[in-house]
Structure 1
């Protein structure tokens, strides 16, 4: 199919490769592509037929003499309303291309014996490749990280590649829509190269950069925050120092636990035994003004806890006094509560008793009242007779 002479060109959003009698055409899904009939002007007696696939199916027909330009002859309606014929040249344009439009096309003209063939490939939009860690290959004793780059969607005519900087490390290109593309990579934990995974086709590419510190953590897992506690078994009122212990809550491997005073390392421990937890003791004076911290770290990350010496390192005798004060306070609180309850009880009893006496008095008073019928007496009042007194009148001279 492919001959020795090949000429490539890019035009109108699609790629055309000429290989003698076969033209390789690539187009992005959704774009339009035109297949040239190789005729400059249709003659009156020309009959032009466009066919597609295997077995060949007629998809368009031109009869210049009868003025027939038919694009609706596809039985399955695959190209319905998406085919256009040039009335002057007979060229065929496919609009809104789909993945199902990929395949072989052929055009035959009655005035010429030679048929022209095209192989069309429609490329869909590429998904962004995904980089993940192959945890099945994870081992605490391993010094390398197993990665896999894959295409989430199934694609054809695309290449998946691992790059270190601008150098290609490995590639894979398989046109099998029943499987997804995937490509493994092994990198060292201490590798400082820049890695990326690229999925590309002739029209576009998608790139994902590897964040080695996020994916390639030690197999023991993310580091927990160390915990600082006081060793109370070493607490004595006569002691002038405070016994502390820093420990890793989770069991880790390939990690170091250290005590720091400022930026100076005081002590460290690193044991790869998942049956035990890391722990590291420290003695500090009660009056020590240094800044202490406990750090759990591996080559990729670290977790730090700062010591609050005033909270953890109180004097043991002070603790006893504090305990006594707490007990006395608690006893006083209990006694106060009991006294309050007693007073409330007494008041309630007195109030109840007073109410009862009042009710008894009322009932007794009601019992002693005796009712009698009233007797009315009529009084005889004698009105005095009117008395008139006469006196002599002496005239005044």
Structure 2
């Protein structure tokens, strides 16, 4: 799965580098080479975003609503306050470079914390980890992983968190954690297993039953000598 993420941040094609941003965040796209530029043109698809040359001041077009900054020294294009509509292929061209630089920008929604829930069926505890359905876009880029001190959690990152199962004989005081991540961020949620069996006092019930039983035996034992003594009198 390491290769999975490497492929995501690598080349989509031989000419387009994939980049990721988060809605509301910023991203800087940098050309593959830096020279003393005399001309810079950035495009989103076929439309110009901004351009500059030694005979022209920086001209920014309304395509991104003025949310861009062009660094004339490095050629970097910074986009501020990203929106989902910013997703596209961006290209930087310059007469000072042999090749253009292309980027395929994917804008991700803010990643919510995963939701943990559990059910008790036939004395087996099933624990599930899910990313809220409100996170709709690019769910295919999510990876999940369990962390806990049980063999059930031994594994690697997967596209979907497997359902864990435990028995009441396991140490229910222990905690399980579910981690989720996308190429830009990660979140975690945790749960103590004992919360999956609320009101289960089976171990304590044995103790409560035992105490009255011992009391009865003790009372009978005390009564017998007293009874014998009364007969002797």
TM-score of the two chains, using structure 1 as the length reference:
0.42
Residue 49 in structure 1 maps to residue 41 in structure 2: yes
The question of whether the paired residues in 2 share the 8 Å contact of 1:60 and 1:69 is answered with no
Which blocks of at least 5 consecutive residues in structure 2 are unaligned? 1-5, 224-233
Tell me which residue corresponds to 1:96: 81
In structure 2, do the counterparts of structure 1 residues 205 and 39 end up closer, same or farther at CA, with 3 Å as the change threshold? Answer: closer
DSSP-derived class of the 1:51 partner:
strand
Residue 125 in structure 1 maps to residue 93 in structure 2: no
Tell me which residue corresponds to 1:60: 49
In structure 2, do the counterparts of structure 1 residues 145 and 106 end up closer, same or farther at CA, with 3 Å as the change threshold? Answer: same
In structure 2, do the counterparts of structure 1 residues 96 and 222 end up closer, same or farther at CA, with 3 Å as the change threshold? Answer: same
The question of whether the paired residues in 2 share the 8 Å contact of 1:161 and 1:168 is answered with no
CA deviation digits over 1:225-262, x for unaligned, max 9? xxxxxxxxxxxxxxxxxxxxxxxxxxx9xx86963437
* Pairwise CA distance, 1:214: 0.9
Residue 163 in structure 1 maps to residue 147 in structure 2: yes
Tell me which residue corresponds to 1:33: 27
In structure 2, do the counterparts of structure 1 residues 115 and 132 end up closer, same or farther at CA, with 3 Å as the change threshold? Answer: same
State how many pairs are aligned.
204
Higher-RCO chain (CA-CA 8 Å, sequence separation at least 6): 2
Aligned-partner Cα distance in 2 for 1:191–1:35: 51
Tell me which residue corresponds to 1:190: 169
* Pairwise CA distance, 1:170: 6.2
Which blocks of at least 5 consecutive residues in structure 1 are unaligned? 1-5, 7-15, 174-180, 225-251, 268-283, 289-397
Aligned-partner Cα distance in 1 for 2:30–2:183: 21
In structure 2, do the counterparts of structure 1 residues 118 and 263 end up closer, same or farther at CA, with 3 Å as the change threshold? Answer: farther
Aligned-partner Cα distance in 1 for 2:43–2:51: 12
Aligned-partner Cα distance in 2 for 1:113–1:265: 95
The question of whether the paired residues in 2 share the 8 Å contact of 1:107 and 1:117 is answered with yes
DSSP-derived class of the 2:66 partner:
coil
CA deviation digits over 1:267-297, x for unaligned, max 9? 9xxxxxxxxxxxxxxxx78x99xxxxxxxxx
The question of whether the paired residues in 2 share the 8 Å contact of 1:58 and 1:73 is answered with no
Q: Greater helix percent: which structure?
A: 2
Aligned-partner Cα distance in 2 for 1:69–1:90: 12
- Show the 5 A alignment for 1:359-370: none
The question of whether the paired residues in 2 share the 8 Å contact of 1:61 and 1:68 is answered with no
Q: Provide the alpha-carbon RMSD of the alignment.
A: 4.0
Larger radius of gyration: 1
CA deviation digits over 1:313-371, x for unaligned, max 9? xxxxxxxxxxxxxxxxxxxxxxxxxxxxxxxxxxxxxxxxxxxxxxxxxxxxxxxxxxx
* Pairwise CA distance, 1:80: 0.7
- Show the 5 A alignment for 1:67-216: 67-74=56-63, 79-134=64-119, 138-139=120-121, 142-152=122-132, 153-154=134-135, 156=138, 157-165=141-149, 168-169=154-155, 171-173=157-159, 183-192=162-171, 194-215=175-196
The question of whether the paired residues in 2 share the 8 Å contact of 1:59 and 1:73 is answered with no
* Pairwise CA distance, 1:150: 1.1
In structure 2, do the counterparts of structure 1 residues 188 and 59 end up closer, same or farther at CA, with 3 Å as the change threshold? Answer: farther
* Pairwise CA distance, 1:203: 4.1
Aligned-partner Cα distance in 2 for 1:182–1:100: 30
Which of 200, 204, 209 is the equivalent residue of 1:259?
209
* Pairwise CA distance, 1:212: 0.9
Aligned-partner Cα distance in 1 for 2:88–2:215: 70
